[in-house]
Amino acid sequence: MRKRMVVRTDGASDLSAIISKRRNNLLVYQGYKALIIRILFLVIAGMILFTRIFLVTQASGNDMFPAVKDGDLVFAFRLQQGYSKNDVVVYTVDGKQYIGRIAAGAGDVVTLDDSGSMLVNGTAQTGEILYPTYGLQGLEYPYEVPENNLFILGDYRTQAADSRTFGAISLENVDGKVITILRRRGL
């Protein structure tokens, strides 16, 4: 008499199903892990990009009216090597950020008179500024801008808090050069 071997396939298929399920779970886990790593990389890259390379801030006040209005979103480049006259910059004084236009650099002599005109190194500065530039108390004119400093003015000269109030701004306090402005109405 011969014995028959009975091969049961249901146990093998159960084992195969368990292995397949575990493999799928491992692939899903690896997929989520890869997604989380990518998200973390993007967050870290974004933080570095917007804390070390670019600056995004909202304008408060009308110191730069009409060029920059209250509430406008301002994008600035932090890695600027040198600044030129008429560059619009973001700077910090006593922990508060301001936006202004560079009127004079280190070594320049600024003269403001009672007529509202401004001279830099003896040359009248007219440009596109609509408002007169009067000297405020605190600085004596003619004023020579010290080394590693900038003389920064707001465009709304009759109302702006700027270098006439604070004195020359150290290059260390300049946060970046404005590269674009997003109007508040456009949001």
pLDDT at 11 over 70: no
What's the CATH number for 59-186?
A: 2.10.109.10
| Rounded Cα–Cα distance for residues 136 and 16 (Å) | 85
Burial class from Cβ neighbours inside 10 Å (0-12, 13-18, 19+) for residue 174 reads buried
Which has the closest alpha carbon to 62: 166, 162, 170, 176? Answer: 162
pLDDT in tens, 67-87: 899 999 999 999 998 999 999
pLDDT at 162 over 90: yes
Residue type, 39: I
Q: Two tokens at 125?
A: 């500065």
Q: What pLDDT is stored for residue 185 in this prediction?
A: 67
What mean pLDDT is predicted for residues 20-41?
Answer: 96
Residue 61 three-state SS? coil
Are 65 and 156 a contacting pair, CB within 8 Å?
A: yes
Residue with tokens 């109302």: 159
Q: What pLDDT is stored for residue 2 in this prediction?
A: 62
The region of weakest confidence among 10-14, 77-81, 159-163 is: 10-14
Are 157 and 133 a contacting pair, CB within 8 Å?
A: yes
| Rounded Cα–Cα distance for residues 27 and 20 (Å) | 10
Quickly state the pLDDT bin for 8 (edges 50, 70, 90). Answer: low
Give the distance between the most distant pair of CA atoms in the chain. Answer: 127
Q: What pLDDT is stored for residue 148 in this prediction?
A: 96
The region of weakest confidence among 45-59, 126-140, 171-185 is: 126-140
